[in-house]
Structure 1
Amino acid sequence: MSNTLNIAIVQTALHWEQPQKNRDHIATVLNTLKAEVDLVLLPEMFTTGFTMHPENIEEAEGEKTLDWMRKMAIQKQIAISGSIVYSENGNYYNRLFFVEPNKVSVYDKRHTFTLAGESKVYTAGTSKTLINFKDFKLCPFICYDLRFPVWSRNVEQYDVLFYLANWPKPRINAWDALLKARAIENMAYCIGVNRTGFDFLGHEYPGHSAVYDALGEELVFSDIPGVSYATLSKDHIDTTRKKLKFLEDQDTFSLEV
């Protein structure tokens, strides 16, 4: 049984609607990783930026990126996760893939960002995804999901929740506060992965990728492009929950989606 999980967060600017350029750039970054990395986390829509025009992206790019992620996972013997524009059965999805060398898990963004018109373009997901990886239970989310604590609520006893995002500078204080809150209320590690730079529409993204432990203590924070590392401890989760049984006192209710 593994008691630790080594995370690498890739915080980077993105080329607007240019999947191949973004894959090439991130492949270069992955070649610089420390040897002990288990899981690499990439920003939301890491091959295109937060585009509301998925029709500009060739339908084949979704499978190309998934194949690329599989290749990276096998070459590096790691898991890699990021969300992309994905077309399926005539619908577009903001789809997160969690790719291991021999397995792929999927999560479709539940809360599409109405302010940007995402809800008019992308089909919303309807279920959470739980991933068992290296003896840790992970729960992935995407960007705007962060604002909805009921959706993130830890009724599954997950150990780690993470949010892959394109979160802009004007609302970055909310990002910082909500990441910490999600860690505390769910008694789990909470990881936020944001991009940097400017997009095609002029929106600025300041990074602020971070990792918080189950007590809300900040383990990692970065506002510059690059790779950040964190080691998560299963003992920290188990010890904290055994001492502070807050999850056992949660209110019980059902969620309709």
Structure 2
Amino acid sequence: MSRIKLAIVQSPLVWQQPEANCQQLAEHMDSAAGADLYVLPEMFTTGFSMNAEQIAEPMHGPTTRWLLQQSALRNAAVCGSVAIRAAGGVVNRLLFATPDGQLQYYDKRHLFRMGNEHQHYQAGTQRVVVEYLGWRFCLQVCYDLRFPVFARNRQDYDALIYVANWPASRRQVWRTLLQARALENQVAVIGCNRIGSDDNGLEYSGDSLVVDHLGVLLADGADGRDAVLQAELDLSIQQQFQQKFPAYLDADAFSLSGVFDG
């Protein structure tokens, strides 16, 4: 499948109230029927809370069940991150549910130390690429955006997904780096950020973006509205450009132990 329809949910989040957030996010998805992939913000059930032990759910808890139900109901993939209890502690886990009942996940590797995330959550160790409808999506969470080596395309993915609670005070950084990741990797980039305010006193401007492989904005939530941004990507056009302008052939070889294989 070359074309894929996206729905990026740019919404406020109710502080640490999963049921209320799931209800409003479902209503948002209802307003954008027919998408192939719905993207929800980081920690979409709670907001960016450091009350890790209080808010964390088991891997097969109510939120993962809700995601799978939403995916089956809409016959579409649905993804977003949640605080999940894992073997070594709580992780900020980006869940990717598909209508066949599969649930894949990526644990946020770069924890936001300026917000003390590293003191409350366990860092992930692996980069994760999931396949859906002929597309390969590399999953990333918020602060990961600042680390281009981790997101480097080794021709093993077709699009990057970033889910975030990225504050309005650094909105230009968010917007610039999303476009930079698209240009340097020659792939589409999907960035989903929340709006509103949280109990940490932080304001969020949204600025959710869908950027194509040329850095062109296909959808832009700069107005900060509570909305669902929609866009369509065409993999064949992206692949044609990569063949015409194969900059990746001149990339420097390197490896990161525990993240990339040799």
TM > 0.5: yes
Whether the aligned pair in 2 keeps the contact of 1:62 and 1:85 (CA below 8 Å) is no
Counterpart mapping for 1:154-173 below 5 A? 154-173=153-172
Counterpart mapping for 1:31-50 below 5 A? 31-35=30-34, 37-50=35-48
**Rounded Cα–Cα distance in structure 1 between residues aligned with 2:69 and 2:103:** 12
Q: Which amino acid in the other structure matches residue 171 of structure 2?
A: I
Higher mean displacement: 211-220 or 160-169: 211-220
Q: Which consecutive unaligned segments of at least 5 residues does structure 1 have?
A: none
Deviation sequence 1:137-173 (CA, Å, 0-9, x none):
1111000000000000001431100100000011111
Alpha-carbon spacing, 1:138–1:59, altered in 2? closer, same or farther (3 Å): closer
Deviation sequence 1:106-137 (CA, Å, 0-9, x none):
10000000000001110000111111111111
Alpha-carbon spacing, 1:58–1:176, altered in 2? closer, same or farther (3 Å): closer
**Rounded Cα–Cα distance in structure 2 between residues aligned with 1:25 and 1:124:** 29
**Rounded Cα–Cα distance in structure 2 between residues aligned with 1:182 and 1:40:** 21
Aligned match of 2:201: 202
Whether the aligned pair in 2 keeps the contact of 1:154 and 1:186 (CA below 8 Å) is yes
Aligned match of 2:112: 113
**Rounded Cα–Cα distance in structure 2 between residues aligned with 1:113 and 1:195:** 17
**Rounded Cα–Cα distance in structure 1 between residues aligned with 2:94 and 2:2:** 26
Name the SS of the counterpart of 1:16 in structure 2: coil
Aligned match of 1:15: 14
Name the SS of the counterpart of 2:26 in structure 1: helix
Aligned match of 1:96: 94
**Rounded Cα–Cα distance in structure 1 between residues aligned with 2:59 and 2:23:** 14
1:86 aligned onto 2:84: yes
1:63 aligned onto 2:64: no
Q: Which amino acid in the other structure matches residue 10 of structure 1?
A: V
Aligned residues: 255
Identity of aligned residues (%): 39
Deviation sequence 1:222-246 (CA, Å, 0-9, x none):
1311101010001121111011011
Counterpart mapping for 1:191-230 below 5 A? 191-222=190-221, 223-230=224-231
Whether the aligned pair in 1 keeps the contact of 2:88 and 2:122 (CA below 8 Å) is no
Q: Which consecutive unaligned segments of at least 5 residues does structure 2 have?
A: none
Aligned match of 1:133: 132
Alpha-carbon spacing, 1:170–1:58, altered in 2? closer, same or farther (3 Å): closer
Aligned match of 2:51: 53
TM-score by length of structure 2 reads 0.94
Q: CA-atom RMSD, angstroms? A: 1.3
TM-score by length of structure 1 reads 0.96
Q: Once superposed, which parts of structure 1, at least 4 consecutive aligned residues long, lie more than 3 Å away? A: 58-62
Alpha-carbon spacing, 1:58–1:186, altered in 2? closer, same or farther (3 Å): closer
Aligned match of 2:121: 122
Q: Which amino acid in the other structure matches residue 91 of structure 2?
A: Y
Q: Which amino acid in the other structure matches residue 141 of structure 1?
A: Q
1:253 aligned onto 2:251: no
Name the SS of the counterpart of 2:181 in structure 1: helix
**Superposition deviation, residue 90 in structure 1:** 5.3
Higher mean displacement: 21-30 or 141-150: 21-30
